[in-house]
A and B are shown apart, each in its own frame.
Chain A
Amino acid sequence: MSPSRKLRVATVSLAGCFGCHMSLLDIDEHVFALLDKVELDRSPLTDLKTCGPCDIGLVEGGVCNSENVHVLREFRAQCKTLVAMGACAINGGLPAQRNHLDVGQCLSAVFQSRPGMDTAEVPDDPELPLPLDKVHPIHEVVRVDYFLPGCPPSGEAIWQFISDLLAGRTPRVSYPLLHFD
């Protein structure tokens, strides 16, 4: 690798709330240092819809539907280093709180029996990805290289983690930056 080549980074939010991406923007002026060293591939920040070969993939959110599975597999195939960023990617997080409920009952409760909803049916447009019966942490679907906990991880934790990765060190988030909440 030539010393001047920028690292390619892709990011995605699967079953997440974009909080981790907001936290990524919370690295404040470090964003300049970051953009000196990386260029973005597929990401909500570029709006590219497919992922090319990348050095690092940051995945926010767990896997709750068929589209999440495809995107996650694409990331794993294209990214040399794949990172589970935030609680939902690591353990399913908030979306996984539906895991002890029946997904069919959830859908009918929302679309068929809630007062004021004017659809009598659960939407079934072929464009809509099918929900999975359970929400899964991403390591249950693909191999994951590193995990960055937090809901969301703080900007500071993200910056330390990414700095380690960019410098070729094993990333390490320890006390007091390591948080599950």
Chain B
Amino acid sequence: MSRSTFLLDGQSVPFDDGQMILEAARAAGRYIPHLCWHPDFPPHGSCKLCVVKVAGRHVSACATPARAGAEVESDTPEINTERRTLLQMLFVEGNHFCPACEKSGDCQLQAMAYDLEMTTPRFRHFFPDRPVDASHPEVLLDFNRCIYCELCVRASREQDGKAVFALTGRGINKKLAVNAESGRLADTDFAADDKAARICPVGVILKKRVGFAVPIGERTYDRAPLHEVALPKPEGDT
């Protein structure tokens, strides 16, 4: 039986019924940028970096089901400019001082900025005041870099069965909170081998004492760009 297809930037992509545009594209080896989407979780639809244009409308590819015959535009100057603007807003909203960030070179936000050739944050920086939480013996929380993708919230709740993290507040007052009376990570049952400890796409949840074990310049996205690293490895590859 032949599967239905849609067109992604003019090239045919097969899909299964109910599959989202982003998932189908990925399975076909085609990259659509994403930050809050993760293969182990249902789509979240918050970062909007996966924006694509379908029949004149801008939709989130991670949360929009593929339709037979649809024409989807993704890697176009118009859509990439929109993505760049979203990235610029994420950068000025937090404090992203990459040269001092342990995640630099392994960070998806930064790697996406490289991919999309974002050379300036363009907007006025907010320089928000977000104190760090170093209370836990093994893991540091640097809230300055949170992009509110909720991956840690979802991982802790759904995979670790702990619900250590939560988002509170709305809009620009949104905050990542730690579920403890004191608000400190040390006062939760969080552990360094939790799924939530390894899922942050940026440099918020950091294992202590290994920050620079791999030197800057030899890290994931120093070696290969995000649009290659983010695709599933072909069968048989390690």
Which of A3-11, A49-57, A93-101, A123-131 sits within the interface? A93-101
How many chain A residues touch the partner (CB < 8 A)? 31
Given the interface contacts A91-B125, A100-B129, A139-B122, does A180 sit within 8 Å of B98 by beta carbon? yes
Collect the chain A residues with CB atoms within 8 Å of residue B120's CB: 84, 90, 139, 144, 147
Collect the chain B residues with CB atoms within 8 Å of residue A178's CB: 114, 117, 119
Collect the chain A residues with CB atoms within 8 Å of residue B91's CB: 91
A93 to B114, CA, bound (A): 18
Taking CB as reference atom, which chain B residue is nearest A84?
Answer: B120
Which of B54-62, B99-107, B135-143, B164-172 sits within the interface? B99-107
Collect the chain A residues with CB atoms within 8 Å of residue B119's CB: 90, 146-149, 173, 178
Is A29's CB within 8 Å of the partner chain B?
no
Is B113's CB within 8 Å of the partner chain A?
yes
Is A104's CB within 8 Å of the partner chain B?
no
User: Inter-chain contact count A-B, CB under 8 Å?
Assistant: 72
Interface pair A99/B121, CB less than 8 Å apart = no
Collect the chain A residues with CB atoms within 8 Å of residue B158's CB: none
Is B124's CB within 8 Å of the partner chain A?
yes
Q: What's the least CB distance linking A90 to chain B, in Å?
A: 6
Contact partner of A172 (CB less than 8 A), chosen from B97, B117, B121, B122, is: B117
Collect the chain B residues with CB atoms within 8 Å of residue A134's CB: 127
Q: What's the least CB distance linking B91 to chain A, in Å?
A: 7
Taking CB as reference atom, which chain A residue is nearest B114?
Answer: A178
How many chain B residues touch the partner (CB < 8 A)? 27
Is A61's CB within 8 Å of the partner chain B?
no
Is B108's CB within 8 Å of the partner chain A?
no
Q: Is the interface of A mostly helix, strand, loop or mixed?
A: loop
- B residues 79-97 touching A (CB-CB < 8 Å): 91, 95-97
Is A47's CB within 8 Å of the partner chain B?
no
Q: What's the least CB distance linking A169 to chain B, in Å?
A: 15
* Residue among B95, B114, B128 having the largest count of chain A Cβ atoms under 10 Å: B114
Contact partner of B115 (CB less than 8 A), chosen from A87, A96, A175, is: A175
Taking CB as reference atom, which chain A residue is nearest B109?
Answer: A180
Given the interface contacts A139-B120, A147-B119, does A93 sit within 8 Å of B225 by beta carbon? no
Interface pair B225/A175, CB less than 8 Å apart = yes
Interface pair A92/B125, CB less than 8 Å apart = yes
A93 to B99, CA, bound (A): 8
Is B222's CB within 8 Å of the partner chain A?
yes
A interface list, Cβ under 8 A from B:
84, 87, 90-94, 96-97, 99-100, 134, 136-137, 139-140, 144, 146-149, 151, 172-176, 178-181
B interface list, Cβ under 8 A from A:
91, 95-101, 104-105, 110, 113-115, 117, 119-122, 124-125, 127-129, 216, 222, 225
